[in-house]
Copies of this chain bind each other. A is one copy, B any other.
Amino acid sequence: MSATAEVMSGEFDQAAVVAEPLPPVVGGGAVDSGVEEEEGEQKSKGRGQIVLGRNVHTSCLAVTEPEANDEFTGDKEAYMASVLARYRKTLMERTKHHLGYPYNLDFDYGALAQLQHFSINNLGDPFIESNYGVHSRQFEVGVLDWFARLWEIEKTKYWGYITNCGTEGNLHGILVGREVFPEGILYASRESHYSVFKAARMYRMECVKVGTLVSGEIDCADFRANLQANKDKPAIINVNIGTTVKGAVDDLDLVIQTLEESGFTHDRFYIHCDGALFGLMMPFVKRAPKVSFKKPIGSVSVSGHKFVGCPMPCGVQITRMEHINALSRNVEYLASRDATIMGSRNGHAPIFLWYTLNRKGYKGFQKEVQKCLRNAHYLKDRLRGAGISAMLNELSSTVVFERPLDEEFVRMWQLACEGNIAHAVVMPNVTIEKLDVFLNELVEKRSGWYGEGRGEPPCVAGDLGSENCDCGLHK
């Protein structure tokens, strides 16, 4: 190749790039550590053990330097293929046994596999072109419009973007709130997602934790008392459209009423709705307090990998154009269009969402919500029927119940636990058949855990209320 030869003879110094020695390579032994081993490692860990500050290195799949003759022998390719095949098997098994997290694992994006070869990046603002041409803004804005209709705000009045996850939505919503009210106090119920309190700390905001009812909803009496004590400062409120643990939906209308009755006019508060899971379900539930920009709210976020389902975490964030303009004016010393939290953004996620929204439509989601609520009732009823403490909030598909004694069982079904309670989130991929397998296994195993001198089931009246508790004292 003559062009290359020409370069080689130029001023470029080959020696400049030969930095030796290269980092030490990993020993051959590491090649044998595989997925199976990792599973064993997981199982041996026991109940909720936190190993913060200790690296879990025994279970990892080391990256190894290719051997000089790898291309000839094919050993490396074979090794990698075997790791991936075993990993895939693990994923299938783990996906099948999953009840604890609100992820819809039922999706088929085969039609989109053709796009995996592209490095799709929606740098910066969805509504402003960048020079990087390999983007998916046309899909992203289509998805945003769909959510804007759902939450009742006009195209010309909203701004939003597809985020990396629910946390990014909360970080963005609360940042917008802080920029609108730099001296504002952040109010959030103590059952809010941890990212809300993380935001307060990151942003150096004063934060008030508000108490909750047994259901997990924000306690508006306590909220009112806190507002009274801080009347001089604007309020930024995180409203949970579905709490993480109990799936409780804060009463948005009552929150607004409490603010108004406490003397907070609309120009002195900002409401961010954290709709991680239920932000997409509530619009289809008749009795739910409607999430709508016709009400005095500032932003709504929802996760895309939860009710919609997506191979990787993502989310949707919608706010009012007026707020984002204020934010952007403030950052004029930056690249003027920097209104997102992240700079580079996954361009595949909007296409996954676009694909599913198009296929299902509002009607399809309505049907799925109906199915999930029905199946959640089934699960709760059967638990109570078997004498197991359980609670299901009216507007929720999250069934909270007595924590299973056996940690192995908890891990197998990937239940999220907190203290004496566990929960299962009934998503579109959770069928009656799957629930029956789970229930039968639970009932059978549980009969061996308690009674005949082996102790009693835990009392969960403090978590779920005595009416939902089936312990010796309350049943």
Contact = CB atoms under 8 A, between A and B. Distances in A.
A370 B20 CA distance: 13
A131 B417 contact: yes
A55 B360 CA distance: 26
A458 interface: no
Centre residue among A313, A325, A359 by max chain B CB count within 10 A: A313
Given A18-B286, A55-B155, A411-B131, A312 B65 contact: no
Interface stretch (A136-144, A214-222, A260-268): A136-144
A116 to B, nearest CB: 5
A333 interface: yes
Sorting the interface of chain A by its residue count into under 10, 10 to 19, 20 to 34 or 35 or more gives 35 or more
A118 B336 contact: no
Given A55-B155, A164-B344, A313-B342, 13 more contacts: A6-B378, A23-B149, A50-B128, A59-B137, A60-B141, A80-B355, A80-B358, A91-B120, A120-B311, A121-B312, A131-B416, A197-B333, A346-B346
A366 interface: yes
A134 B155 contact: no
A285 interface: yes
Contacts of A132: 98, 100-101, 103, 414
A229 interface: no
A360 B64 CA distance: 9
Contact of A19 (B91, B284, B375, B377): B284
B414 A361 contact: no
Contacts of A287: 16
A202 B201 contact: no
A11 B377 CA distance: 8
Contact of A347 (B65, B312, B328, B436): B312
Contacts of A101: 121, 131-132
B63 A143 contact: yes
A38 interface: yes
Contact of A84 (B87, B114, B312): B114
Interface stretch (A104-112, A294-302, A446-454, A462-470): A104-112
Contact of A62 (B145, B310, B347): B145
A73 interface: no
Nearest to A345: B313
A252 interface: no
A410 to B, nearest CB: 7
Nearest to A417: B131
Contact of A344 (B35, B116, B165): B165
A146 interface: yes
Nearest to A91: B118
7 contacts: A56-B127, A56-B129, A62-B142, A95-B118, A113-B113, A132-B414, A311-B348
A283 to B, nearest CB: 7
A69 interface: no
Nearest to A15: B286
A81 to B, nearest CB: 7
A473 interface: no
A395 B283 CA distance: 55
A10 B324 CA distance: 47
A377 B198 contact: no
Nearest to A21: B362
Given A65-B362, A81-B111, A139-B61, A346 B133 contact: no
A442 B108 CA distance: 44
B333 A64 contact: no
A432 B7 CA distance: 10
Centre residue among A17, A81, A283, A381 by max chain B CB count within 10 A: A17
A414 B130 CA distance: 9
Nearest to A60: B141
A163 to B, nearest CB: 9
A402 interface: no
